[in-house]
Structure 1
Amino acid sequence: MIEYELRAWIRTAISRSVRNTEICFNSNVYLPQCLFTCKTLVDLTLICPADIPVSFDVYLPALKKLALGIVMYESAESFSRLLSSCPVLEELIMGSFVARSSRMCFYVCSPTLIRLTLYPSLKLVAHGFYRNRYRVKIDTPALRYLRAYEPISEDFSARALTSLMEADIVFVNEAPIERDAIHSRNILEFLGRLYNVKCLKLSTTPMKVPDSAFSALTIRFPNLTKLELAANWRVDWRFLSYILGNADNLEVLIIHKVTCWIEPPHQVPTCLLSHLRTVTISLFECAEHEFELISYILRNAKVLKRMDIHFELHGIDLKGKFDGIKRISLFERGSKTCELVFH
């Protein structure tokens, strides 16, 4: 389909009160202005190198879901105007941030947004591909579901997300090692905005949190009932003991790979004594720190119902697996009803 045919197709669809539209195009395309003033559109997907200029009149009064990929933004204002012109928007998916400025700030501001997915990869026009150059700010008081991949770039921040129920966050640090302190503080500040979350999945690339930044933590997670640390979790493992100590109502803990373990320095976390019921550990390789973590949980989790341990088959032989099962089976258990399941 050539470009003028695409524009004609769009105009025809709009004239027939289209509700759902998905436009995917590989080459640069000029989208007709009527697309951005359509009164009937409910679901719009744009995956094409089309330009969103500041001069466009935009008003999409019925739009509830918007997915953007490869779309080019003339300026931060063009993106902000697009969002502000969607008064009932409930879901936003953003990928491949494309801008004409290397310092552009994407301000995600919407009082109605419930679901937000970000997986940016910045392309600077005429300058090739760059990362760590854009900024993202979130102001979405009604947001309940957040999924963000590679959010920490030059700056990633949010106002208090008081309505948030679920978050799946991947922190990617591509900055030089000497900027680890800045990167880790960004993570800590952002985690502080998630204090009301009920289900939290975290992943990050390698980094070291400075003692000064970690000791200043004052975050509590009173509503957190499920915590999942993804397979490529590589952050300072003091985070796990910290979250356990500050999530009194945690019921479900999933760890896809234990790379380190540091026992909480003070009293046993409240969640282990009164709420933690299910623990799953994947990619278990019979390393000593893995045994230490399992022993600590089994010994202190007073209401634990089940612990599932999935062995990494490529990391150990059958004898190693058998010896590991035997050793764990002999660990002291704080819960007499806890079931151990090996996979």
Structure 2
Amino acid sequence: MTDCSKDVINGLPDNLLCQILSNLSTKEAALTSLLSKRWRYLFALVPNLDFDNVSSLHPETVMEDQTSFIDFVDRVLKLRGKDHVGKFSLKCGDGIEDEDVFPWISNVLRHGVSDLALHVSPRLVYWLPSKLFASKTLVRLKIGPEDGPRIKLRNVSLTKLKTLIIDSVVFAEGEIGFTKLLSGCPVLEELGLRNLAWDYWDSCTVSSKILKRLTLCCAQCDENPKSVLFDIPNVVYLEYSDNIAHKYPKGNFDSLVEARINIRMTNDQKANVRYVSDGDEETEMVGNATDLLMGICNVKTLYLSYDTLETLNFCCEVIPVFYNLTHLTIESNPEVGWDSLPDLLKSCPNLETLVFQGLLHKATNRCGDVCLCLGLEKSLSSLSQCPVKFLTILKFGEAYHDDDGDLNVEMEKIKHFLKKIPNLEQLIIYYNSPIDNDLAEVSSQLQMLTEVASLKCKIKVISDNISFSSIVPISSSMNSGLLL
């Protein structure tokens, strides 16, 4: 018979207990020191350290909490002595100064840290120490938040680094500094740079034969880069956000599978093209995205922001054919038209899944029969030739929930899709309304639809509202019985 009173946990070896404690924050792990003498210092020996004082701060005790936090981190690092550090995660807000943070970083670097994540307020820690970019042991480095400490990248030597994610970065030497970063990380496979300030650069070249994932999101500014070149033949995932460049030299995206593109015009350029467009005048392109699209045309999954839709309308000579594209997501905005969408859909002959993040957009006479926002309908339909089988509508009714007119506009667009897309097998509408009857109303309107292009289409209305059924099956003349 098994002895149920036996203390199984205390019978485990120290190294296994440390691995278990590594799944907790260091603060939570420290509470186990109250269990017994054996547990008193065990928490400080875990290979992974996670310090977070932001979520636990109370406004009335900020100074006291910060002082206690500093003492706690100092104590844990002192107890560890010379033990190896596997992962060090630090998240701290105002009140933690560089004179506190720098010794902690130096400590874990000396002890061979391989995974370092820093989330530090920029108010008192503005520049991080340069020694951070000369580690011989770091495999993963993440620095944030978005408006966090700035990084001056001069000399970089991170010989083992495979993942680098920085949410705010300033290159002290412009493009030269960027080149130094890539050359100083010879085995880098994932690079994420957000809020990148390169508004004073003439051009940029992203060249790496090793990279597999690239996120390059540039800060908003009033300038357009002259030239942006991508030579990243092994990248499978690309996220690119920037003002449109004047030129995109022929790039290399041979392995690209998924891309998220947000190319935008400056505010002045947007105001100018919208003014000219409303007057039906010809506009001069401020940049040319054609070569960028040509480079990524082998992609299988593509996300386009509403800024990109507008930019393609005014800054693209021709949309190339995306033969491999099977999944397309379109973001909508009430201030931006769908003018470029008809040509885009015609250029996706094998598209299977189409997702709309919102349906409200600026009404124009240039979006053809993709919608009927101005009551225009053509005999030759880009939708009637659309091969899409799965259509998803996100954020239905979310933009203007109190405006019944806008809700009716969205419903009419959905009905139009059902009437035109011939191969549609499934339509899913995400409608997170707080009112239960809203979902029933959408269901009722779709049930009354008699003219459809696909008799096999199944429709679902889904809501996260816990007071209503998460899935509302809809029966219609297009189906027999309930659709599940």
| Shift of residue 305, structure 1, vs aligned partner | 1.3
* 1:9 aligns to 2:108 (yes or no): no
Partner of 2:346: 245
Contact 2:237/2:259 (<8 A) preserved: yes
SS in structure 1 at match of 2:267: coil
Distance 1:85 1:233, change over 3 A: farther
One-letter identity of the residue aligned with 1:237: W
* 1:28 aligns to 2:158 (yes or no): no
Distance 1:154 1:39, change over 3 A: same
Alignment of 1:85-104 (within 5 A): 85-98=184-197, 102-104=200-202
Higher relative CO (CA 8 A, sep ≥ 6), structure 1 or 2? 1
User: Structure 1, unaligned stretches of length 5 or more?
Assistant: 123-129
* 1:61 aligns to 2:159 (yes or no): yes
| Deviates further, 203-212 or 221-230 | 203-212
What percent identity do the matched residue pairs reach? 24
SS in structure 2 at match of 1:147: strand
Alignment of 1:164-243 (within 5 A): 164-176=256-268, 177-178=271-272, 181=283, 185-205=287-307, 216-232=317-333, 235-243=336-344
Distance 1:318 1:174, change over 3 A: farther
Q: How many matched pairs? A: 326
Partner of 1:125: none
Partner of 2:169: 71
Partner of 1:339: 458
| Shift of residue 194, structure 1, vs aligned partner | 2.2
Partner of 2:369: 263
Partner of 1:111: 209
One-letter identity of the residue aligned with 1:178: N
Distance 1:235 1:223, change over 3 A: farther
Contact 2:235/2:256 (<8 A) preserved: yes
| Deviates further, 201-210 or 17-26 | 201-210
Distance 1:235 1:109, change over 3 A: farther
C-alpha RMSD of matched pairs (Å): 3.8
| Shift of residue 222, structure 1, vs aligned partner | 0.7
| Shift of residue 195, structure 1, vs aligned partner | 0.7
Distance 1:15 1:132, change over 3 A: same
Distance 1:21 1:252, change over 3 A: same
Contact 1:273/1:303 (<8 A) preserved: no
Contact 1:325/1:342 (<8 A) preserved: no
Contact 2:392/2:428 (<8 A) preserved: yes
Distance 1:86 1:319, change over 3 A: closer
| Shift of residue 63, structure 1, vs aligned partner | 0.8
User: Structure 2, unaligned stretches of length 5 or more?
Assistant: 1-95, 275-282, 371-377, 398-405, 463-484
After TM superposition, the score normalised by the length of structure 2 is 0.57
| Shift of residue 308, structure 1, vs aligned partner | 2.6
Contact 2:305/2:330 (<8 A) preserved: yes
Whole-angstrom CA distance in 2 between matches of 1:321 and 1:72: 52
Structure richer in strand, relative to its length: 1
| Shift of residue 83, structure 1, vs aligned partner | 1.0
Match of 2:445 among 319, 326, 333: 326
Contact 2:355/2:392 (<8 A) preserved: yes
Alignment of 1:115-130 (within 5 A): 115-121=213-219, 130=221
After TM superposition, the score normalised by the length of structure 1 is 0.77
